[in-house]
Amino acid sequence: MPDDTRQWRGDVTLIGGSAEGLLARVSEVWHSRGVLGFLVWRDLKVKYRQTLLGVLWAVLQPVLMMTLFGIFFGRLAKMPSDGVPYPLFAFAGLLPWTFVANAVTDSGNSLVTNPDLITKVYLPRICIPLAAVIAGLVDFAIGLGVLGVLMMWFGQGVSFRVFALLPLAVLMTMVAMGVGTWMSALNVKYRDVRYALPFLIQLWLFATPVIYPTTLVPARWRPVLLINPLAGIVDGFRSALLGTPFDGHAIIASIIGTVVLLAMALWYFVRVEQSFADVV
């Protein structure tokens, strides 16, 4: 693959192909962090522009889903919830899930909805899907505050495990970056991804222990469940916030799966990004 060639002619920069390694690309993103911050701010403004409720949508989506799950799975289906009120159980799982689902959708479509940033402006192109993921952290923070209010309402205390939230949030963000970056690169070449992504995310929901506890899965099938890196992360959030049983093996599986997923996604993105301007 040809090296990245950049020639300057006056005020014009000519961009050739790219074969920079992953570490070099990380360094390039760091040096372009001002541009990344601008893209994050732009995505936030666009997301809630001309909306009646604005950032309240960040609260309504998980709250409404929690209400529906509480009625159908908590009351009617009597779904077990590891000894905590089912609404709290569901919301603690929906919090990371909603962030990942929205971040993957937004970042997966980010390149095809911003063709001018690819064809007319030079910036590390990976900043475009990354900005969509980072912007979603604002909604996540709002949702975390809502969960805190719900925990006080149900009289649920917290323990020292709450300090695990930060590394779990980092893992959650890495999963969203990995899947979102991969989907964004595929979406440029195969526009079917744009239409298949909502369906795939729905399937992913049921493959993640959001509405049910991991203990409900038979022991022989749990290794299959843990192939999904988000499974251990969701369990970890519940353990950190609600004191449900902690599964160290699930967390280790999530860490390994997340690192492998993100590395493969970045490798693929770097490998194919030189063709984006030709097909976007």
Contact 208, 176 (CB under 8 A): no
Average pLDDT over residues 47-70: 75
Please name the residues in contact with 152: beta carbons below 8 A apart, sequence gap of 6 or more. Answer: none
Residue type, 244: T
The number of beta carbons lying within 10 Å of the beta carbon of residue 20 is 15
What's the confidence (pLDDT) of residue 159?
85
Q: What is the mean pLDDT of residues 22-34?
A: 73
- Write out pLDDT tens, residues 233-246: 999 999 999 988 88
Distance (Å, whole) CA 135 – CA 214: 30
Instruction: Report pLDDT for 209.
Output: 93
Residue 179, pLDDT score: 96
Spatial distance between the Cα atoms of 110 and 92, rounded to a whole number of angstroms: 28
For residue 30, pLDDT beyond 90: no
In terms of C-beta density within 10 A (0-12 exposed, 13-18 middle, 19 or more buried), how is residue 269 classed? Answer: buried
Single-letter amino acid code for the residue at 190: Y
